[in-house]
Copies of this chain bind each other. A is one copy, B any other.
């Protein structure tokens, strides 16, 4: 297994508030995102907070996808990290669209190649 990977760190704002608080929708969206990017899903764990907010992860053979949603702020913090030849932006873009994010920012961080270098 090669160590090389790419990690998308994305901040999604002005999302659909109901979707941000719907743990079933978010879990399905994340599994779909992983599969669309060609990843192999290994573990799926999502947690609904009271009164609102969802955190969760999909562990894939090629690393992971995570979310922390803040429905009260219309904000979701997501990470899509894939090793090998997969393109993490496929899943990140799918998630951003599914959550109805009107504003988003992302950086891509190369992983497993030595020094940590951050590129936009």
Looking at chain A's contact residues, the main secondary structure is strand
Knowing A64-B68, A68-B64, A77-B5, say if A114 contacts B11 (CB, 8 Å).
Answer: yes
Knowing A42-B55, A73-B3, A77-B5, say if A66 contacts B68 (CB, 8 Å).
Answer: no
A56 vs B13: C-alpha distance when bound (angstroms): 27
Residue among B77, B79, B115 making CB contact with A112, cutoff 8 Å = B77
Residues in B with CB closer than 8 Å to A105 are 114-116
Question: Is A9 within 8 A of B11, CB to CB?
Answer: no
Question: Is B1 within 8 A of A72, CB to CB?
Answer: yes
Question: Is A64 within 8 A of B57, CB to CB?
Answer: yes
Q: Is A19 interfacial (CB 8 A cutoff)?
A: no
- Residues of A whose CB lies within 8 Å of any CB of B are 1, 3, 5, 7, 9-11, 13, 42-43, 45, 47, 49, 53, 55-57, 59, 61, 63-64, 66, 68, 70, 72-73, 75, 77, 79, 81, 83, 105-107, 109, 111-112, 114-116, 118
